[in-house]
Structure 1
Amino acid sequence: MDWIKETLSSTPEIALFVCLALGFAVGKVRIWKISLGGVAGTLIVAIVIGMFADIELNDQVKTIAFALFIFTLGYISGPTFFASLNRKSLRYATFTGIEVVSVLAITAAAVLIMDLDVGTAAGLLAGGATESAAVGTATDAIGRLDLSDAEIATLQANVGTAYSISYICGLITIVLLSSQFFPLIMRVNLREEAAKLWKQLGGSADEDTAAPAAPAVVGREYQVTTAAGQTVAALQESLGEATVEEVSRDGGSVALAPDLRLEHGDRVLIVGRREALVGAGAKIGEERPLDEAMAMNLDLADVVVTRKGYQATTLGDIRKDFESERQGVFLQKITRGDHELPVKPSTMIQHGDTLRLSGASRDLRRVVPMVGFRIDPTVRFDMVFIAIGVVLGFLIGMLVWTVGTIPLTLGTGGGCLLAGLLFGWIRSKRPTFGQYDSAAADVIKTLGLSVFICAVGLSSGPQAVDLVKQFGIGLPIAGIAMTAIPAFISLFVAWKVMKLPAPLTLGSVTGQQCSTPGVTAVQAAAGNATPLIAYTIVYAFSNVVLPLLGPIVVAMAHSLGS
């Protein structure tokens, strides 16, 4: 044990990766429907290790890691956030407003009742609101208070400890409330309500979130008998979501055109959605084994929606507008931020959404410019654009406004968040530069936050026991209240005032806390992806606003405690 302590203390880089490995392993442990996740698991492991070994990560490591995380968070949220600033989506900002007012009020009450210090108050808010980013912005704000280095170190350590306690309580509370208790309170069968909404969106009642065993878009070859005498255009119209891609006659290829008239014995390659080709043989002729000479590969293209005039437009409306032009191109997936939405006619398509299209290369070259910009799959990370954005974030964070004796500043966290929002929005408007692949962004975001949280946990370890002894059961109770009170208020507003369907109500409740575990549990209970429709919009607002509460709660707690 002495050798282990000495090794971890003398080489904190080893301690860092030990915490990451063990933390993400702990985060995967599932009890019923709840798992902590890698970030919370890392914090808990880091606090425990910090109790037994004197380990301190370099402050620059913490700063760089958090800057990369918070900039990436803003970059990913930027397009969705600005696209949601319209009349149809802006009403969902109500839930973020409820969250902000509630958690600040509860924190103020806890400070007055329990005599919390600034660090514990900030950690309580960040954990109860399940917003890890607020840990960084609050820690940064504490570092700017006019206090001694020892006092600042103690308060910053208290942030991590209080966060870990209230986060666990908040996570369990939001998962149980949103997926189990709220449907009982509303007296609804969530699965039935989700199925009704799914059908209203244009889906069939028996669809769910499971991946199909067969591909959605398929190719079939037929020998023309029944369709002899028909034109290609007429045949395509009768098939629906399918197109004629190749025509072979007497062993040779025939130039394809809408007015081409099919002859008896022609062989045609039909590509379309699987359901459209069920029974197609009765309209065309007998299906034949695919001839290698007619085989073709479907191209895939991820396209960012940038076309003007198509903000907050339904997928069905877009399909109608491009009824003739979109022949041969099929929509496979809709992604907003890092969440996948249902591909249904009533799904709202926003500026900055990413569509995955499939079809022949010639068809994609025709259709993609009508929708937006095709992402270059060979470019993963535009280092110039991203690095300039982080530099701007640091510069914004250096600005300080003094109110009375309290310095107010966005700090590194708030500055990089705003810079990320700006650069993400610029990228959505001018996607020819600034590529930040979603997979690369996810790695940077997760690693940056995990490293920062690990550093906070390691420094919190020595004070953790004392803090728990000081406040006892009060912290868990306050953490539960921090989650439950705004959730109940939003449930009433969404269900009784705004009259939202049950899946959208629960999606909004989990979205206001940016709770991915919560919405995952709601999706599982609903049986489809309808809760994500509201979740993604509210998530975009909360993801931007909640991290900015760090400096505010520090100033508020400091003022109330003085």
Structure 2
Amino acid sequence: MIIDLAQLFHNNSLLVVFTIIAFGYLIGNIKIARFEIGVTGGVLLCALVFGHYNFQLDPIVQSLGFTLFIYSVGWQAGPQILNVLRLDGPRYLVLTLFMTAVSFSLVFGLAAVIDLPSSYAAGLMAGSLTSTPTLVGAQNAVTSGLVRVPEGATARSLIENISVAYAITYIFGTVGLLMVVRILPSILRVDLVAAALQFSKERGIKSDREKYRVKRPILRAYAVDDPDLAGKTFDEILSRHGAQSANLRAFYRLKRGSELIEPRSDTIVEMGDKVAVFATPEEHAEAHKLPGLTADILDEDLIDAEIDVAEIVITNPASVGKPLAEIGIYDKFGCFLSSLTRSQIQMPVSPGTVVQRGDVMIVSGERLALDRLIAHLGAEDRKAVETDLLTFAAGIVAGLIIGQITVKIGSIDIGLGNAGGLLLSGICVGFLRANRPTFGRMPAAARFIFMELGLLLFMVGVGLNAGGGIVGALASLGPILFACGVVVTCVPLLVGYAFGRFALNMNPALLFGALTGAMTSTPALGIVQQAAKSTVPALGYAGTYALANVLLTLAGTAIVML
């Protein structure tokens, strides 16, 4: 039996898609001197090769990828859109607007100088900034009819131009940006380590080189045998011995006879009561010094604690905008914070880190204590495998309908297009989800697969569309497009740094993180964090990333329409 592989692949587009994704993953994970082009770049390169040999993709596959990706981008950005207006938010907002405006103006100016068609200009901007949302916005503007197709051209040829320009400029946009971010602090004589330490000191953030951890608690039970304690509340007892009422969190269960009682500050203690204490060894040693408590006792009802882990979404206005030290996850509630995530980015777990709406905490502790903490912070995102596909699908439907709405101004029809509609719908659903965690449930694994698979399906289509014309474009426009790409990658970063330092007076470590977020480059953030030896830059990245995705999508739509 003879198998014609070429014919097999030509007859089976699904085989082509997943072969490209598989090899793309392999290539994207190859590191050369700590640099890697990433999975998106690897898939794009593989798709270009297949496209050069005339392999095609059913348009519905790319449309599906585009829909899943851009809606997920909006969903992820939703909780953070309003957060950029809090604390350092105004500076993040201004910096993101400035960076987007600089990039847009630069591309528009270069296109005018070298007489570059708007389709190539859109691909130039998307590739130079490695911004897939920009590419999505531009291509969708063409397919949805928002762009007037020039005489002698077709919508397909415009999409191919966008894809070709994106492919030519993407590599330097990825690797070049990492190189620039690595060497720029040295050129500017900026000590990122010192800057991160200074910011950490000002905000009460522990250095990554400092140990920030609470000793694990243990559970012990005591009996009340002092008549002087009888008839007094927990608050009175603790105050009498110079303790803070917040230390009540250690007393999580009280037993009176056979009745189990949840201790409160106004709970009255009686002779013979037994109390379970969930605290560190040092705190138990202090408890031994309190008169009126016998040595440890054994009582299964008291020491049979239910230790659990909860994923908590921050929604309570009483907690939003407060540092972790003020919330007192351990000091006030006796629970232990493992991680804090914002827009899929790990935040520093330090006393000075400010909590924002939509943040997700992983917290462990005794179940009753966890319930009290959850009520104070927001709501628990209970672990389950189900995704609320009804809300997910309805949100996409709403976005597609919004994208069809146009407003006629004179002879010009203006609308958001599918990209803008899906983005807006995703933002609304994501924002509502952050405020009402029981609505629109989507586990982290589901979020990842929707966004990642959507992105890769879309990139396969981009590469296959560009593959047929990439050789000719490289021979004619390749050098000038590449040179323009270098300019568009580097200049906004330099101008943005100057603007952030001198106009916004931002800390350099925070600023470099914010700049990588404004350029939507997660690999560049990794380089900055390595140089700073701190996670402080992640705070800046999270401040600009969500809004940048939205603005760059709109910028891609706008530039291809000019």
* TM-score clears 0.5: yes
Match of 1:366 among 372, 380, 395: 372
Please name the residue that 1:559 is paired with. none
Counterparts in 2 of 1:104-183, with a 5 A limit?
A: 104-143=104-143, 144=145, 145-146=148-149, 151-178=154-181, 180-183=182-185
2:205–2:353 Cα contact (<8 Å) kept:
no
Does residue 466 (structure 1) correspond to residue 469 (structure 2)? The answer is no
Q: Structure 2: where are the runs of 5+ without partners?
A: 290-294
1:491–1:506 Cα contact (<8 Å) kept:
yes
**Whole-angstrom CA distance in 2 between matches of 1:42 and 1:292:** 58
Does residue 243 (structure 1) correspond to residue 241 (structure 2)? The answer is no
Please name the residue that 1:271 is paired with. 279
**Whole-angstrom CA distance in 2 between matches of 1:543 and 1:149:** 33
1:239–1:280 Cα contact (<8 Å) kept:
no
- CA gap of 1:216–1:26, structure 2 versus 1, over 3 A, is farther
Counterparts in 2 of 1:515-554, with a 5 A limit?
A: 515-554=521-560
2:87–2:321 Cα contact (<8 Å) kept:
no
SS in 1 for 2:217: strand
* Structure 1 residues 22-43: Cα deviation after superposition (integer angstroms, max 9, x where no partner): 1111111112232222122111
**Whole-angstrom CA distance in 2 between matches of 1:378 and 1:459:** 39
**Whole-angstrom CA distance in 2 between matches of 1:239 and 1:87:** 27
Q: Could you tell me the TM-score, scaled by structure 1's length?
A: 0.85
2:65–2:457 Cα contact (<8 Å) kept:
yes
**Whole-angstrom CA distance in 2 between matches of 1:86 and 1:308:** 12
Please name the residue that 2:358 is paired with. 352
**Whole-angstrom CA distance in 2 between matches of 1:183 and 1:48:** 37
Q: Give the Å deviation of 1:429.
A: 2.5
* 236-245 or 544-553, which deviates more: 236-245
Please name the residue that 1:81 is paired with. 81
Does residue 97 (structure 1) correspond to residue 97 (structure 2)? The answer is yes
Please name the residue that 1:220 is paired with. 218
* 400-409 or 525-534, which deviates more: 400-409
Please name the residue that 1:27 is paired with. 28
Match of 1:417 among 415, 423, 426: 423
**Whole-angstrom CA distance in 2 between matches of 1:240 and 1:525:** 40
Q: Give the Å deviation of 1:450.
A: 0.5
**Whole-angstrom CA distance in 1 between matches of 2:410 and 2:11:** 43
Partner amino acid for 1:271? Answer: A
* Structure 1 residues 319-370: Cα deviation after superposition (integer angstroms, max 9, x where no partner): 3xx998x332333322112112112222221222222222211122223122
**Whole-angstrom CA distance in 2 between matches of 1:525 and 1:242:** 40
Counterparts in 2 of 1:131-530, with a 5 A limit?
A: 131-143=131-143, 144=145, 145-146=148-149, 151-178=154-181, 180-205=182-207, 207=209, 218-220=216-218, 233=238, 243-244=250-251, 257=263, 270-272=278-280, 277=281, 283=286, 294=303, 296-319=305-328, 326-378=332-384, 380-401=386-407, 408-530=414-536
Partner amino acid for 2:308? Answer: D
Q: Give the Å deviation of 1:318.
A: 3.1
**Whole-angstrom CA distance in 2 between matches of 1:476 and 1:292:** 72
**Whole-angstrom CA distance in 1 between matches of 2:542 and 2:167:** 25
- CA gap of 1:426–1:327, structure 2 versus 1, over 3 A, is closer
SS in 2 for 1:30: coil
**Whole-angstrom CA distance in 2 between matches of 1:247 and 1:392:** 52
* Structure 1 residues 148-183: Cα deviation after superposition (integer angstroms, max 9, x where no partner): 7963222212222221221211122322232x2232
SS in 2 for 1:355: strand
2:406–2:415 Cα contact (<8 Å) kept:
yes
SS in 2 for 1:373: strand
Please name the residue that 1:560 is paired with. none
- CA gap of 1:235–1:341, structure 2 versus 1, over 3 A, is farther
How much is the aligned-residue C-alpha RMSD, in angstroms?
3.6
1:137–1:550 Cα contact (<8 Å) kept:
yes
Q: Structure 1: where are the runs of 5+ without partners?
A: 557-562
* Structure 1 residues 358-408: Cα deviation after superposition (integer angstroms, max 9, x where no partner): 221112222312221211212541111111100011111112346677654
**Whole-angstrom CA distance in 2 between matches of 1:495 and 1:207:** 26
**Whole-angstrom CA distance in 2 between matches of 1:101 and 1:35:** 28
Query: How many positions carry a matched residue from both structures?
Result: 539
- CA gap of 1:149–1:384, structure 2 versus 1, over 3 A, is farther
SS in 2 for 1:426: helix
SS in 1 for 2:384: coil
1:224–1:285 Cα contact (<8 Å) kept:
no
Q: Could you tell me the TM-score, scaled by structure 2's length?
A: 0.85
**Whole-angstrom CA distance in 2 between matches of 1:316 and 1:181:** 36
**Whole-angstrom CA distance in 1 between matches of 2:503 and 2:433:** 37
SS in 1 for 2:4: helix
SS in 2 for 1:32: coil
- CA gap of 1:218–1:119, structure 2 versus 1, over 3 A, is same
